[in-house]
Amino acid sequence: MPVAVKSVEKVKIPGKVQVTFDQKGYFTVTGPGGKASRTLFHPKIAVSREGDEVVFTCELPKKKEKAMVRTLASHLANMCRGVVDGFTYQMKVVYSHFPIKVTLKGKQLLIENFLGEKMARVANIIGETKVLVKGNELTLIGADIESVGQSAANIERATKIRNRDPRIFQDGIYIVDRRG
């Protein structure tokens, strides 16, 4: 049975993007669309820079270390893509019983009159995610895919219906499109 001697993943850095990192694995990616920072560290994985590429290497990897090399490379590639193009989530407000009013207050999205409730439901917006509310459509834009995705998930979770038949009460705010 052959043994994998080395696991290597290379991430090409686009021309408009600057990537800096230290030995503890703290990466900062800066580009025209913003800035993203994250710790990408594993004790058995070495990170180096070769020209316009960042190389993740693991000597004598086991199955999990080999998978981790690819995971770290994918995270860095997503950060580079985010600071160049950004990530966009489209959401739609759906109601059939009570009209839902959505307002943005700082880093919180207030969902009022959901199923006729008196208290507003609150969804937290994570990181540097920008939310645009236009009628019954919400647009979430940001450079960090995890912040944008978690913000969209928080909004969907805030409008989860309990103790009612979901086939009849289909009210809520749902993700309809993802880009980036």
CATH number for region 6-84: 3.90.930.12
What integer pLDDT is reported at residue 83 of this predicted model? Answer: 94
Query: Are both 6-84 and 87-179 of the same fold?
Result: yes
Say if domain 87-179 classifies as CATH 3.90.930.12: yes
Pairwise CA distance, residues 34 & 17, whole Å? 10
- CB-based contact 37:127 (threshold 8 Å): no
Instruction: Give me the residues of the chain with pLDDT under 70, please.
Output: 1-4
- As a whole number of angstroms, the distance between CA 41 and CA 9 comes to 14
pLDDT of residue 1: 56
120-160 confidence digits (pLDDT tens): 999 999 999 999 999 999 999 999 999 999 999 999 999 99
CB 68 within 8 A of CB 8: no
Q: Would you tell me how many other CB atoms lie within 10 Å of the CB of residue 139?
A: 14
Would you give the DSSP letter of residue 120? P
> What pLDDT, on a 0 to 100 scale, did the predictor assign at position 45?
94
Position 147 scores a pLDDT of 95
* For the chain, domain boundaries: 6-84, 87-179
Q: For residue 2, what pLDDT is reported?
A: 61
Do residues 172 and 156 make contact, with C-beta atoms less than 8 angstroms apart?
yes
The residues, ordered by sequence, that sit 6+ positions from 60 with a Cβ below 8 Å of its Cβ are 3, 4, 5, 6
Q: What is the pTM of this model?
A: 0.88
CA distance 93 to 89: 13
